[in-house]
Amino acid sequence: MSTLSQRAIAPREHSRTRPGLYIPLHLRLACFYTLLLIGIFAFFGIYVYQQARQQAYQELDNALSTRAASIQLGKDLSPSYMSSEGTKYPLLLPGDNGIGIGGISIEILSTKLQLLATTTGALDGGTTIGHQSAPPAPWDEKAAQAALRGHGCHESAVASACLFSTIAYNGQTVRIYTLRNDNPYPTPHIIQTARSTDDVEQSLAHLRQLILEVSLLALLLALLGGWLIARGVLSAVHRLTLAAQTISTSSDFSKRVYLPNSFWRARDELSILSETFNQMLTNLEEAYLRQQRFVADASHELRAPITSIRCNLDLLNKAPDLPGEEISAALTDTQAEAERLGRLVNDLLTLARADSTQQLLREAPHALYHTRIDLDSLLLDTFRLFRHRSEQASIYPRLLLQHTEPVQIYGDADQLKQVLVALVDNAFKYTPPNGTITLSLRSHEHRQACIVISDTGIGIPAEDLSHIFERFYRADPARSRDRGGSGLGLAIVKRIVENHRGNIQVESTPGAGSNFTLCFPSVPIAPGEQA
């Protein structure tokens, strides 16, 4: 048996109910997939947010660097202002005022970090454009000094150093771009462009809120949908559990799992499992009924000879002065019933062994029979065994051996001979003295060897043909125990034939006779092996 099969069939000591907290499976599945979605949403949410943040600040940095480059390459500064460092009033540059949303502040500083020009510089009278107080000059002194020392990027021949920095100003976070312009016309200087990041952070905050709300909504829908779907799918498991519990409590194998019949419900693994479970219950019910009938029939068959033996013994015990003839008749009857009881017990034992063999073959096919048997020799031995009967034409029918071929099969010679003897003996029992019994063996295509045992006896009614292989079944009074049968012969025959991977078929016409056909898978005979 495979490892998977061993795991699927739990030992008896592990099949007991284990204590523990009961959590419905559909709730477990819903929670599992919800946690899985939380991980997925968290990963993609963080990824999307980081990409959006990186893109937003990259666009902000591009805007700052582009504005600085336009000042660097433009004609906004006059030589007079550029040549006189530290003027009282710096040059007012054209452009946006303030560093608010959409506004970029520009400061141009000398190499001594004195303000030369600005878009938000102080005007006459000390007022400031766009601010309640004048912005710092420079915006970021550390960044300006680093640019003067040559730190930062080298973007072009006219720009020797540049870098980005961030500071806090008036409760805002300001992004600053510092560029050292080494263009000798009119004089080297530092350009700083600044802009508030509030609009970027506000957009990112809206994105965070949107991701969170969408994720929560999706998780709620996933939890509800997963719970409903899992509950609907596992309803079949619930029905299986209820059916199993009901059968376990009542031992009623007539119970079945309810299968809803709706046009929109598709077949799935659970519906197939339910159908298989119902089929298993049907087989168990049939096996249980057969067992009950078998026990009842066996008890009845065993009780009859035992009762007869007890009656005869009681008679001999209570009446010791019986005439000798009556004592001899009672002993003869007791001996006959004892022999009949012995035959019945032997048949039951043979049938039990055949059942165990069939179970072993079902678990390990081709595990028992590896011996080659000459089927034609077995048939010939059976013919010789019954030939002396056919010579008594006034008592027994005539026995003929017709066409035979050399055929070999895998099997047990004793069991196969038991089958042939039982069938030929039945033919003698139910064929009149003027009748004929014929035996034949032919090899058919697809490596099939078939033995046919035909008789011209009383035949079998059509309504009984499907039951003659059942245990203790007798078709009519003609096939009663008066002929010495136990009712198990054909059942044993059928089981032995099936154990040899063969099949048996019956054709019969009442008053005309019967044909029993046994077919087995044959094996090729090597040249020179058969004489």
Report pTM: 0.50
CA pair distance 354, 419, nearest whole angstrom:
12
Give the residue from 410, 401, 397, 421 showing the smallest Cα distance to 490.
421
| Side chain identity, residue 158 | V
What does the pLDDT average to over 115-128?
A: 54
pLDDT beyond 60 at 23? yes
pLDDT score, position 20: 57
What does the pLDDT average to over 514-518?
A: 94
Share of the chain above pLDDT 90, in %: 15
Across the strands, what pairs with 521?
448
pLDDT score, position 514: 93
CATH number among 3.30.70, 3.30.450, 1.10.760, 1.10.3470, domain 49-204: 3.30.450
What does the pLDDT average to over 91-103?
A: 56
Look at 280 and 135; give whichever has higher pLDDT: 280
pLDDT score, position 367: 57
Share of the chain above pLDDT 70, in %: 76
Neighbours of 230 (CB within 10 A): 20
Give the residue from 270, 274, 273 showing the smallest Cα distance to 26.
270
Domains in the chain: boundaries: 49-204, 269-363, 372-523
CA angle 410, 411, 417 (to 5 degrees): 130
pLDDT score, position 464: 85
pLDDT score, position 92: 57
**pLDDT tens profile 47-71:** 999 999 999 999 988 988 888 888 7
pLDDT beyond 50 at 152? yes
**pLDDT bracket for residue 503 (50, 70, 90):** very high
CA pair distance 383, 165, nearest whole angstrom:
112
What does the pLDDT average to over 116-133?
A: 50
**pLDDT tens profile 299-333:** 767 777 888 888 888 878 877 777 878 788 888 88
pLDDT score, position 231: 73
pLDDT score, position 450: 93
CATH T-level assignment (fold) for domain 372-523: Heat Shock Protein 90 (3.30.565)
Give the residue from 424, 399, 409, 418 showing the smallest Cα distance to 376.
409
CATH T-level assignment (fold) for domain 269-363: Helix Hairpins (1.10.287)
Helix (H, G, I), strand (E, B) or coil at 107: strand
pLDDT score, position 529: 57
Q: Could you tell me how many residues make up the chain?
A: 531
